[in-house]
Chain A
Amino acid sequence: MRKLLEGSQAVAEAARLCRPQVVAAYPITPQTHIIERLAQHVADGELEAEFINAESEFGAASIVLGAVAGGARAFTATASQGLLLMTEVLHNIAGMRLPVVMVCANRAVSAPINIFNDHQDSMALRDSGWIQLYAESNQEAADSVIQAYRIAEACELPVMVCMDGFYLTHSFEPVELPEQTAVDDYLPPFHFARTLNPARPMTLGGGSEPDNYQEYRVAQHEAMENARAVIEAFDADFGEQFGRDYGGLVQGYRLEGAQTVVLGLGSLMGAVRDVVDRLRNQGRAVGALRLRCLRPFPAQALVEGLGSAQRIIVLEKALSVGAGGIVAAELRAALQEAGITTPVESVIGGLGGRDLTPEVIETVIQGAGPDHAGSGCRFAPAHRLPTRNSKGEKAHG
């Protein structure tokens, strides 16, 4: 049944349906509602889990590391400074190949302190060895949590489900929550082959010398490479069972004959779809491609989606200071490797919660053409507030 749910509640319910045995977290805006809801479920006896209010995010990450190493399914959620405080542990979780699932309620990072949304926090962790999925809607965020457990446990890789802070976490929108039995069918119980067991002592994440450290890293990289097909297959499976899928690694929108394609991540793509519809109605060949999976980086899927575009605009909510757009740079490399010379325009916007409205997105598309594309980036303008009043009909698209 479809219900109108706050995004935080939707992902908390999805996490509950996955039957985690350990939930550990430290509160931080805009993540807190997720963990509050799970704490309530545990207190009400609706979720049989150990709920641990950690002393810090570093502690929370360490707790879920230990829980999964001990064979339990575990969940945590954080954002921004909390995610950064977890950084050391997150690398450890990935290096130990522990299938932890977390939700990152994407938020800008300090300084200056800002509680609003952008993607700087999770992007900073892109090299940590975690799979990263970015959700466009609350429905997708909830569904991705369920997919994430299956992906993580099949690949023995941790998965971070990234959902935009406030834009998703604090928005009420219709969400269809699956039945428990259906989730149980989709997601088999967790049996961790390398569970720590006092009867069979072993070490996880122990010392490694120069003669074999690199092999661990190569194995990790290979597992990531192999995860692409797993993510695609489990998303397709999910679609078959629940009637909703998200394109696996990337999701195209009106790409047929599109000369200009806007590439982006997360909730901003809803407004991009509206803009694409509007411009298509004006006869302009515009389409959109959504990068759902940042890690593993789906170079081939992107090249396939963008191959025939004459103009590519990457609109992203994170900045590699001193370099420019992060996704844009990776896309340029992927295209170059595929022998495609289409220039990539890197546009940074929506930082620290600045609203990327349809008007702003349209300005970005109407703005500088390929001639202005270089190796750097440009910045999206701010939304211009209406003056006295505004006239005219609003319609979708």
Chain B
Amino acid sequence: MNNKHEAVSLRLYEIRFHGRGGQGAVSAAALLALAAFDGGFEAQAFPKFGSERRGAPVEAYVRISAVPIRAHNQVYTPDAVVIQDATLLRSEPVLRGLREGGLVVLNSAQRPDVPGGDRDDLRWICLPASHIGERLLGRPLPNTVLLGALAVATEWVSLSALEKAVTGHLGRKGEEVVKANIEALREGSRLATEQRENS
């Protein structure tokens, strides 16, 4: 085990994704778990169980751990939340249970004034992921941009592991899709690095 594994050996990291049906919250969770697993961690990803309906609020969860994960429960006290659609801040309790000092990765150019946004312990990364997705992928898909940002902000997964996960998971969709999504990962990571350095 390398040093990073030792540093997190007693911790279990939990991430909750909030999106709308069709935005790919479940795919995002799977990509993150694949990258963590590739990085030598135990990982688990699953959707909030339910019927999938386009546009309806959806949740997906990831657990990352240095030791095998046995529980199959939903995530109630995440270390980070990734919000794929900023309008969910108004309608869903997306910050519920977020741990002290937790991270919010939000698909929005600015940090909105939202209920729960008064918590001063949270770290926010806000970036216009849909716009970037539109530019790079031809569709307003925020996933890989947000994942690139999450990777930089948490260091739970490396960018190269995410790129590998994208290559494997999206391989069936063709080389161009893979390439564009890797660009999106890098753009998300670049913007998150900028925000970190400016804060």
Asked if residues B33 and A390 are in contact (CB atoms below 8 Å), the reply is no
Residues of A within 8 A of B29 (CB): 172
**Most chain A beta carbons < 10 A, residue from B47, B65, B73, B96:** B73
A122 to chain B, nearest CB (A): 18
Partner of B46 from A170, A268, A273, A385 at Cβ < 8 Å: A170
**CB-defined contacts of B97 to chain A, threshold 8 Å:** 385-386, 389-390
Residues on B with beta carbons closer than 8 Å to the beta carbon of A370: none
Q: Mark B42-80, 1 if CB is under 8 A from A, else 0.
A: 111111011100000000000001011111111011000
Could you tell me if A172 and B11 are in contact, using CB atoms closer than 8 angstroms?
Answer: no
B70 x A394 contact (CB < 8 A) = no
Q: How far is the CB of A263 from chain B (nearest CB, A)?
A: 17
The residues in A between 265 and 285 inclusive whose CB is less than 8 angstroms from any CB of B are 267-268, 270-271, 273-274
* Contact in complex: A172, B45 (CB < 8 Å): yes
Residue of A nearest to B93 (CB): A385
A396 touches B12 (CB 8 A): yes
Known: A166-B49, A388-B116. 11 other contacts (CB 8 A): A115-B51, A116-B50, A172-B46, A270-B69, A355-B73, A356-B73, A358-B71, A385-B97, A386-B76, A386-B96, A395-B10
- Whether B11 pairs with A394 at a CB distance below 8 angstroms is yes
On chain A, the residues within 8 Å of B42 by CB distance are: 174
A389/B44 in contact, CB under 8 A: no
Give the number of chain B interface residues (Cβ < 8 Å): 39
Chain A interface (Cβ within 8 Å of chain B)? 4, 6, 29-30, 115-117, 137, 164-168, 170-174, 267-268, 270-271, 273-274, 353, 355-358, 383, 385-386, 388-391, 393-396
Is A271 in contact with B71, judged by CB distance below 8 angstroms?
Answer: yes
The smallest beta-carbon distance between B67 and chain A, in angstroms, is 6
Partner of B72, one of A6, A171, A174: A171
Complex Cα spacing A273 to B71, Å: 8
Are A174 and B73 in contact, with the CB atoms below 8 A?
no
Known A-B contacts A358-B71, A385-B76; A353 and B49 likewise in contact (beta carbons under 8 Å): yes
**Complex alpha-carbon distance, A90 and B10, angstroms:** 47
Is the Cβ of B100 less than 8 Å from the Cβ of A164? no
Cα(A142)–Cα(B14), bound, Å: 26
Say which residue of B12, B44, B119 sits within 8 Å of A172 (CB atoms): B44
The reply to whether B70 and A273 form a contact with Cβ atoms under 8 Å apart is yes
**Main secondary structure on B side of the interface with A:** loop
Closest Cβ of chain A to B23, distance in Å, is 17
Q: Give bound CA distance, A357 to B71, whole Å.
A: 8
Given A386-B96, A395-B10, A4:B46 Cβ within 8 A = no
Q: What does DSSP make chain A's interface, helix, strand, loop or mixed? A: loop
B10 closest partner in A (C-beta): A395
* Residues in B neighbouring A390, C-beta threshold 8 A: 77, 97-100
Question: Which residues of chain A have C-beta atoms less than 8 A from B99's C-beta?
Answer: 389-391
**Closest CB of chain A to B63's CB: distance in Å?**
9
Question: Shortest distance in angstroms between A331's beta carbon and chain B's nearest beta carbon?
Answer: 24
What 9 A-B pairs come out closest when comparing CB atoms? A270-B70, A386-B97, A166-B49, A171-B46, A271-B71, A172-B45, A167-B72, A4-B37, A390-B77
- Which residues of chain B have a CB within 8 Å of any CB of chain A? 10-12, 14, 29-30, 33-34, 37, 42-47, 49-51, 65, 67-74, 76-77, 95-100, 102, 116, 119, 121
Given known contacts A117-B49, A173-B44, A389-B102, is B72 in contact with A271 (CB within 8 Å)? yes
For B121, the closest partner residue in chain A by CB is A389
Tell me the smallest distance from the CB of B172 to a CB of chain A, in Å: 10
| Contact yes or no, B71 A386, CB < 8 A | no
A389 CB, min distance to chain B CBs, angstroms = 6
Inter-chain CA distance A394–B33, complex, in Å, is 19
Measured between alpha carbons, how far is A390 from B51 in the docked complex, in Å? Answer: 29
**Which residues of the partner chain A approach B50 to less than 8 Å between Cβ atoms?**
115-116
B74 to chain A, nearest CB (A): 5
Q: How far is the CA of A394 from the CA of B66 in the complex (A)?
A: 13
B73 near A358 (CB under 8 angstroms)?
yes
Cβ-closest chain A residue relative to B79: A394
Q: Which A residue's beta carbon lies closest to that of B46? A: A171
Q: Is A171 touching B102 in the complex (CB atoms < 8 A)?
A: no
> Can you identify 14 A-B contacts, CB atoms within 8 angstroms?
A6-B30, A30-B49, A115-B49, A116-B50, A165-B49, A167-B72, A170-B46, A270-B69, A386-B76, A389-B98, A390-B97, A390-B98, A391-B100, A394-B11
Residue of A nearest to B14 (CB): A394
Q: Which residues of B contact A6 (CB under 8 A)?
A: 30
Given the complex of chains A and B, what is the CA–CA distance between A171 and B34 in angstroms?
A: 12
- CB–CB A4/B43 < 8 A: yes
